[in-house]
């Protein structure tokens, strides 16, 4: 049982889930480059990739910024200050304190897909989730953002005018799934501000 001091401590957003597709490598590299080394949150990334072969995205993100980035492994503990990238041909899901990789059906034509990550993060972490949609075509991520919102989490999307491919961000906005619309150059600062802002107790109990 939590102590009185633990119960009164401000709750913090500490899980960032990010989805991207076409044009997403550039956007992800920019976002990661702008994040601080002492980020008090974990970041989980889904980029639509081919199901065959290996992804070079973990290496790209590891070189781009100050946070370590690796390909996710099934059962791996989730640690703050680390970036986890969904491997090809697997959905990446969030358990209470670990990652789960599944070979479930494709969603929106993709595996990995963004919506399964967002849904699982909302179920397990509720108001602690910051969900981000970056450049991409079509609408993957919109439904997942809505689940995050209903669980009390916060959603951000890249400004469509700022994205190489505006489809995914625009879909999120048109469906009311974007709490914040942010240019890519300001995305890291917006995320850090949300992390530093205590969660409303009403949302924590949601």
Q: What is the distance between the alpha carbons of residues 65 and 158, in angstroms, rounded to a whole number?
A: 19
- For residue 171, what is the DSSP state? H
* Residue 112 preceded by cis peptide, ω within 30: yes
Q: What is the distance between the alpha carbons of residues 206 and 132, in angstroms, rounded to a whole number?
A: 21
Catalytic residue among 48, 90, 91, 125: 48
User: Does the annotation mark 159 as catalytic?
Assistant: no
Q: Is the pLDDT of residue 10 over 70?
A: no
Question: What is the band of 53 on the pLDDT scale with cuts at 50, 70, 90?
Answer: confident
Q: Is the pLDDT of residue 93 over 50?
A: yes
- pLDDT given at position 205: 55
Of 58 and 2, the structure prediction assigns the larger pLDDT to 58
Q: What is the distance between the alpha carbons of residues 173 and 102, in angstroms, rounded to a whole number?
A: 29
Domain ranges of the chain: 13-201
- Tokens 């995305």 appear where? 187
Catalytic residue among 21, 71, 135, 171: 21
The string of pLDDT tens digits covering residues 33-45 is 999 999 999 999 9
Catalytic residue among 34, 139, 140, 162: 140
Q: What is the distance between the alpha carbons of residues 122 and 166, in angstroms, rounded to a whole number?
A: 24
Whether CATH 1.10.240.10 fits 13-201: no
User: Does the annotation mark 140 as catalytic?
Assistant: yes
- pLDDT given at position 178: 98
């Amino acid at each position: 049982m939590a102590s009185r001091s633990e119960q009164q401590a401000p709750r913090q957003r500490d899980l960032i889930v990010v989805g991207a597709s076409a044009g997403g490598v550039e956007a992800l590299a920019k976002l990661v480059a702008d994040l601080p080394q002492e980020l008090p949150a974990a970041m989980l990334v889904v980029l639509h990739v081919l199901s065959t072969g290996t992804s070079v995205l973990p290496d790209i993100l590891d070189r781009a910024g100050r946070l370590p980035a690796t390909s996710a492994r099934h059962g791996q503990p989730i640690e703050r200050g680390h970036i986890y990238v969904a491997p090809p041909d697997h959905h990446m899901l969030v358990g209470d304190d670990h990652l789960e990789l599944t070979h479930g059906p494709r969603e929106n034509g993709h595996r990995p897909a963004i919506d399964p990550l967002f849904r699982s993060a909302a179920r397990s972490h509720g108001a602690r989730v910051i969900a981000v949609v970056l450049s991409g075509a079509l609408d993957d991520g919109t439904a997942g953002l809505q689940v995050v919102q209903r669980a009390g989490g916060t959603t951000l999307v890249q400004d469509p005018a700022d994205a190489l491919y505006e489809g995914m961000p625009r879909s999120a906005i048109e469906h009311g799934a974007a709490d914040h619309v942010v240019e890519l150059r300001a995305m890291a600062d917006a995320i850090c501000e949300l992390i530093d802002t205590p969660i409303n107790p009403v949302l924590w109990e949601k």
